[in-house]
Amino acid sequence: MGSLLASGCTLAQALAMSSAKGKRDWQTYCREVAARLRQGQDLTDAMAGHPRTRRYWTPWALALLAAAEASGTLPEFFPVLAADAEQERRQRRRQREMGRSLGLMWLSLLGAIALAIGGLSAAVRLDLWFLALAGSLLVWGMATGQVSWHPRGPTDRETVEQLAALAIPLQAGLSVVASLDLLSRYTPPALRRPWRLAQSQVQLGLPLSQAIALPAVARQILISGEETGDLAPALEHIRQYVREQAEQRSRQLQIYLRLGNMVVLGLLVAIAAVQLLRTLIGLLGT
């Protein structure tokens, strides 16, 4: 969409051409929206009146689209939106991979316990349950320890992620105050109050870096943007930093899960080998 609009296509033409290789439902949706555009509606109204818009667009994305259209920055906005969608897609894929790894670990652990219980004494069974529980808690604790972005806790990480999202409405042409208002309306309820307070303080002339509590790294990047007079690149830098940190946490978590899988599978193989050896010894004795 961004490339087609930048090359001179109309919005209806760009919408029809960019959706040519999508799924059939998406193509139908785009054709119907394009028909409304040809009738004289703007993109916001054409999408808002369509019953299937909520299937493809979040309220946050719709609000950003409206802001970009009002400011005439749609060609620049669509690549930003596409990059965010791709980032979310990769994050969901990593979450599915971690879920499968965790499920495999627990299935292997249950299999090892079930196999061990059949031929061991009661004392050994109790020791095995204890070791399995301790190992699971160790892996879980090591993995959970990688979730916090900053020693002050998850609230800092969430605040920084929301602050990074502020770059999108700024790139769509909104002012800092209007961007904060948009962010406060579509941010999670637990974080709305800090952003509304930040909006009122910015309206009073306070810099954004002083209006919201931030970790040291994010604050320094934001201050650098305020000194140069252009917040959008600084917030984009924060967005890139947040993405890198999220990918690093996911990779570390996957390493711990793989390590846990290897340990549990090794335990399963060892127990099976011991059971087989005991069976062979019993047959030889017989």
Per residue in 10-25, pLDDT (tens digit) is 888 888 888 887 888 8
Q: What are the structure tokens assigned to 281, written together?
A: 């010894």
Reply yes or no on whether the pLDDT at 64 is more than 70: yes
Q: What angle do CA 103, 108, 113 make, to 5 degrees?
A: 125
Please give the pLDDT value at position 156: 61
What is this structure's pTM?
A: 0.59
204 DSSP 8-state letter: T
Alpha-carbon gap, residue 98 to 113, rounded angstroms:
22
Give CA torsion, residues 223, 226, 230, 231, to 10 deg: 60
58 contacts 41 by C-beta, under 8 angstroms: no
Where are the domains positioned within the chain? 2-57, 58-286
Mean pLDDT, the chain, as a whole number?
76
Cα dist from 171 to 69, 83, 94, 218, whole Å: 12, 13, 28, 19
Q: What is the mean pLDDT of residues 205-212?
A: 87
Most confident of 12-21, 111-120, 134-143, 244-253: 12-21
Please give the pLDDT value at position 146: 43
Answer with the residue of higher pLDDT: 145 or 220.
220
3-state secondary structure 62-83: HHHHHHHHHHCCHHHHHHHHHH
Please give the pLDDT value at position 78: 84
Q: Predicted confidence band at 148 (pLDDT cuts at 50, 70, 90)? A: very low
Reply yes or no on whether the pLDDT at 152 is more than 50: no
What percentage of the chain carries pLDDT values higher than 70? 79
Helix axes 231-285, 154-165, angle to 10 degrees: 130
Q: What is the mean pLDDT of residues 166-193?
A: 79
Please give the pLDDT value at position 132: 59
DSSP string, 177-191: HHHHHHHHHHS-HHH
Please give the pLDDT value at position 111: 64
Helix axes 74-117, 59-71, angle to 10 degrees: 160
